[in-house]
Structure 1
Amino acid sequence: MNVTRNVLVNRVAATKIENHSIDYVPENERHARLRSQGPFWFLGNFHFFTISIGFVGPGMGLSAGWTTLAGALGIMFGTLFMAFHGSQGPQMGLPQMIQSRAQFGYRGVILALLATLFVFVGFNVVNVTLIMQGLHGVFGFDPVLVGTLAIVLGALLSIYGHDLMHKVFTWALIATLPLYTIVTLALMLGASPQPVSATVTPGFNWVAFFTQFAIAAGYNISYAPYVSDYSRYLPKHTCPKKLIANIFLGASLSGAWMIGLGAWLAQQLHATDALASLGQVGDTLFPGFGSLVVIVSVLGFLPIIALNTYSATLTVLTGVDSIRRIRPTRRHRVVAIVLISMLLLACVFSIHGDGIALLHIFLLMLLYFLVPWTAINLVDYFLVRKGRYAIPHFFTPSGIYGAWQMRGISAYLIGFAAMVPFFYIADVSNNQEVFVGYFARRLEGVDIAWLVGLIVSGTVYLLLARSIDIQVEERVIRAIGTGDSTSRKRAP
Structure 2
Amino acid sequence: MSTDNVNGWAPPPPASGTTDSADAPGAKSGKWRKIEVRSIDYVPAHERHGSVAGQGPFWFLGNFQFFTIAIGFVGPSMGLSLGYTILSGVLGILFGTLFMAFHASQGAQLGLPQMIQSRAQFGYRGVVLILIATLFTFIGFNVVDTVLMASGVKGIFGWSPTLVTIVTALIALALAIYGHDWLHRVFKWLLVASLPLYVLLTLWIMFGAVGVKAGVAHAGGFSLVAFAAQFAASASYNITYAPYVSDYSRYLPRETKPRAIIAAVFIGASASAIWLIALGAWLATRLGASDGLVALYDAGNAMFRGFGVLISLASVGAMVATMGLNAYSAMLTVVTAVDSFKPVKPTSTVRVITVLVLGLMWVVISLSLSGNAIDILFAALTIMLYLLVPWTSVNLVDFFFVRRGHYAITQLFTPNGLYGAWGARGLIAYAVGFASTVPFFVLPGIYTGPLAARIGGVDVAWAVGLLVSALVYLVLARSIDAQGERRAVLQSEREIALLDGAAGRSH
Structure-1-length-normalised TM-score: 0.94
- 1:465 corresponds in structure 2 to 477
- 1:430 corresponds in structure 2 to none
Do residues 211 (structure 1) and 229 (structure 2) align?
A: yes
Do residues 53 (structure 1) and 71 (structure 2) align?
A: yes
Q: 1:181 to 1:198 in 2, by over 3 A?
A: closer
SS in 2 for 1:271: coil
CA distance in 1, matches of 2:79, 2:41: 48
1:360-399 to 2 correspondence within 5 Å? 360-399=378-417
Q: Is the 8 A contact 1:87 1:244 kept in 2?
A: yes
CA distance in 2, matches of 1:192, 1:159: 46
RMSD of equivalent CA atoms: 2.0
Q: 1:286 to 1:187 in 2, by over 3 A?
A: same
Q: 1:66 to 1:148 in 2, by over 3 A?
A: same
Match of 1:44 among 62, 77, 83: 62
Report which stretch shifted further, 468-477 or 291-300: 291-300
What is the Cα deviation at residue 231 of structure 1? Answer: 0.2
In structure 1, give the amino acid aligned to 2:130: A
Which string of whole-angstrom CA distances, capped at 9 and with x for unpartnered residues, describes residues 332-363 of structure 1? 11111111111111111122222111100001
What is the Cα deviation at residue 193 of structure 1? Answer: 5.7
Q: Is the 8 A contact 1:391 1:487 kept in 2?
A: no
Q: 1:229 to 1:192 in 2, by over 3 A?
A: farther
Q: Is the 8 A contact 1:192 1:281 kept in 2?
A: no
- Unaligned runs of 5+ residues in structure 1 are 427-432
Do residues 400 (structure 1) and 418 (structure 2) align?
A: yes
CA distance in 2, matches of 1:484, 1:169: 32
Match of 1:35 among 53, 69, 79: 53
Do residues 144 (structure 1) and 156 (structure 2) align?
A: no
Q: 1:186 to 1:197 in 2, by over 3 A?
A: closer
What is the Cα deviation at residue 195 of structure 1? Answer: 6.4
How many pairs are equivalent? 480
Q: Is the 8 A contact 1:105 1:402 kept in 2?
A: yes
SS in 1 for 2:340: helix
CA distance in 2, matches of 1:484, 1:157: 30
Q: 1:485 to 1:192 in 2, by over 3 A?
A: farther
1:209-248 to 2 correspondence within 5 Å? 209-248=227-266
Q: 1:192 to 1:137 in 2, by over 3 A?
A: farther
- Unaligned runs of 5+ residues in structure 2 are 1-21, 502-507
CA distance in 1, matches of 2:391, 2:376: 23
Match of 1:349 among 367, 372, 380: 367
Report which stretch shifted further, 357-366 or 290-299: 290-299
CA distance in 2, matches of 1:486, 1:8: 21
Do residues 450 (structure 1) and 457 (structure 2) align?
A: no
- 2:11 corresponds in structure 1 to none
- 2:183 corresponds in structure 1 to 165
Q: 1:38 to 1:5 in 2, by over 3 A?
A: closer
Do residues 185 (structure 1) and 216 (structure 2) align?
A: no
CA distance in 2, matches of 1:147, 1:51: 20
SS in 2 for 1:219: helix
1:254-269 to 2 correspondence within 5 Å? 254-269=272-287
SS in 2 for 1:389: coil
Match of 1:474 among 446, 462, 486: 486
- 1:80 corresponds in structure 2 to 98
What is the Cα deviation at residue 191 of structure 1? Answer: 1.9
Which string of whole-angstrom CA distances, capped at 9 and with x for unpartnered residues, describes residues 369-396 of structure 1? 0000000000111111111111111112
In structure 2, give the amino acid aligned to 1:88: Q
1:106-121 to 2 correspondence within 5 Å? 106-121=124-139
Identity over aligned pairs, percent: 52
CA distance in 2, matches of 1:485, 1:104: 26
1:290-329 to 2 correspondence within 5 Å? 290-329=308-347
SS in 1 for 2:494: coil
